[in-house]
């Protein structure tokens, strides 16, 4: 392993030593030489190096989303009172199919969209404060 490393390092030194000192000094002087600067007038006459692709974007017309509000009023005997009408499983309400009816709520479905409606119990456990003297 040491022999291989030694051979590789000697070869790399031999490749770098291909240039004479005069060649190296000449290359460094070319790098160090003062370069000509561009004037602002030169920029105005130059062509734009960047390519601008002009494409007309064709967009499909955007349909406004239709907002459907569902209100679950009651659930009784396997039927649900939704938006003022009594519905059962597999009935259609505003494009949604009634999938499941439970005592606490209803599940509606349309394609891959699922909406859950719940019955909220009214709470009468508020604390009433009376003004004292």
d(CA 43, CA 40): 5
Asked whether residue 89 is assigned to any structural domain, the reply reads yes
pLDDT beyond 70 at 79: yes
Asked whether residue 27 is assigned to any structural domain, the reply reads no
Asked whether residue 88 is assigned to any structural domain, the reply reads yes
Asked whether residue 57 is assigned to any structural domain, the reply reads no
Q: How remote is the C-alpha of 116 from its chain's centroid?
A: 27
Structural domain tally of the chain?
1
Asked whether residue 108 is assigned to any structural domain, the reply reads yes
Q: What is the pLDDT of residues 9-42, one digit of tens each?
A: 776 766 666 667 787 788 778 777 776 777 777 7
Q: What is the pLDDT of residues 93-128, one digit of tens each?
A: 888 999 999 888 899 998 888 889 888 766 666 666
Enclosing H/E stretch for 40: helix 40-45
The boundaries of the domain holding residue 112 are 72-118
């Amino acid at each position: 392993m040491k022999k291989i490393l030694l051979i590789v390092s000697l070869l790399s030194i031999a490749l770098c030593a291909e240039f004479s000192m005069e060649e190296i000094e000449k290359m460094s002087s070319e790098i160090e030489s003062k370069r000509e600067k561009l004037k602002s007038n030169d920029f105005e006459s130059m062509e734009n190096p960047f390519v601008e692709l002009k494409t007309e974007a064709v967009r499909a017309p955007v349909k406004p989303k239709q907002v459907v509000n569902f209100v679950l009023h009651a659930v009784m005997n396997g039927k649900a009172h939704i938006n003022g009408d009594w519905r059962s499983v597999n009935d259609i309400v505003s494009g949604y199919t009634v999938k499941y009816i439970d005592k606490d709520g209803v599940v509606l479905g349309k394609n891959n969209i699922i909406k859950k409606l719940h019955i909220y119990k009214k709470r009468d456990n508020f604390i009433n404060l009376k003004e004292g003297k």
